[in-house]
């Protein structure tokens, strides 16, 4: 994880922050409509853990999660990759959406790698 460039680190953290903000807004809208929110809450929690682990790895910030929470988050994050890959494959070359998806995919992969390193 030390070999990751500063640019990729910054983009990965920003990608997680952006995704978390979008998910929080979506969750609030779903709650207003009375929709079931279990899945998005689970994914949002995993995204927060992924962000915390990346920040801990690169910025030496502590995180309050144990190995069980890390393991569950890793599984959820892994489960998100196929849908991001599918959206990426369907996006236009050179489009802002493709760049966003590329960064999101990279950040998910890095978070999973960081969790693997923290879990031993």
Domain layout of the chain by residue ranges: 6-119
What's the mean pLDDT when you consider all of the chain? 94
Q: Is the confidence at residue 120, as pLDDT, over 80?
A: no
Question: What does the pLDDT look like over 97-109, one tens digit per residue?
Answer: 999 999 999 999 9
Q: What is the 3-state secondary structure (H, E, C) of the chain?
A: CCCCCHHHHHHHHHHHHHHHHHHHHHHHHHHHHCCCCHHHHHHHHHHHHHHHHHHHHHHCCCCCCCHHHHHHHHHHHHHHHHHHHHHHHHCCCCCHHHHHHHHHHHHHHHHHHHHHHHHC
pLDDT score recorded for residue 47: 98
Question: What does the pLDDT look like over 22-52, one tens digit per residue?
Answer: 999 999 999 999 999 999 999 999 999 999 9
- For residues 106-113, average pLDDT: 97
Percent of the chain with pLDDT over 70: 99
For the question of whether the overall pTM of this predicted structure is more than 0.75, the answer is yes
């Amino acid at each position: 994880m030390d070999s990751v460039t500063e640019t990729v680190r910054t983009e990965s953290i920003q990608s997680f922050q952006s995704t978390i903000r979008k998910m929080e807004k979506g969750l609030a809208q779903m709650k207003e409509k009375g929709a079931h929110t279990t899945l998005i809450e689970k994914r949002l929690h995993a995204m927060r853990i992924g962000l915390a682990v990346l920040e801990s790895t690169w910025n030496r910030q502590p995180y309050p999660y144990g190995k069980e929470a890390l393991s569950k988050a890793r599984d959820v994050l892994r489960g998100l990759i196929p849908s991001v890959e599918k959206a990426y494959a369907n996006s236009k070359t050179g489009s802002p959406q493709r760049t966003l998806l590329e960064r999101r995919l990279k950040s998910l992969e890095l978070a999973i790698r960081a969790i693997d390193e923290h879990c031993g």
